[in-house]
Structure 1
Amino acid sequence: MKPVYLNIEEIRMRKGVTKTHIAKKCNRTVAWYHGISIGRRVPNVESLQMIADALEVDVRVFFDNELSVTRNYEKQIV
């Protein structure tokens, strides 16, 4: 399982969004987001939701992709 902060950063970079953009959307400092982006700061649920909103994604995409693959597979079987 990949750490959440790595998934967030992968999504951020894929979307071409800057760290400054996320910090501003979350009404936080760039240092706050930088701490999250390198794994030094662990975001709480509220922070994860704010980051997801800034990236325009569902917060669940930050977590292990294998879970969503498993769920999709189970839906096909039923």
Structure 2
Amino acid sequence: MKPVYMKIEEIRVSKGVTKTHIAKNCGKTVAWYYGISTGKRIPNVESLQMIADALEVDVRDFFENNLSVTLNKMQLA
């Protein structure tokens, strides 16, 4: 399973969005987003929603693969 911060970064890079853009759109500092992007800071639900809005994606996109793996394991049991 890919950690949430890695999924966020994957989406950010694929969309060509800068860390500065996300921080600015969230009303936060670049250092704040850098902490999230490196896994040193764990975002709360509100922060995840702000990041999703800045990336113009659904917040569930950060978890989609993780939830699918978990659900598949539950169905096999």
Q: TM-score range by the shorter chain?
A: 0.7 to 0.9
With over 3 angstroms needed to count, the CA separation of the structure-2 counterparts of 1:14 and 1:41, relative to structure 1, is same
Structure-2 separation of matches of 1:5 and 1:60: 13
Percent of aligned pairs sharing the same letter: 79
Give ranges in structure 2 of 5+ residues lacking alignment: 72-77
Matches within 5 A, 1:1-78: 1-65=1-65, 67=67
Contact 1:25/1:54, CA 8 A, preserved across alignment:
yes
The alignment yields a C-alpha RMSD, in angstroms, of 1.8
Pairs aligned (count): 71
Task: Report the TM-score when normalising by structure 2.
Answer: 0.85
Cα deviation, 1:17-76, whole Å, max 9, x if unaligned, reads 0000000000000000000000000000000000000000000000142535898xxxxx
- Runs of 4+ aligned structure 1 residues displaced above 3 Å come to 66-71
Give ranges in structure 1 of 5+ residues lacking alignment: 72-78
TM-fit CA distance, 1:9: 0.1
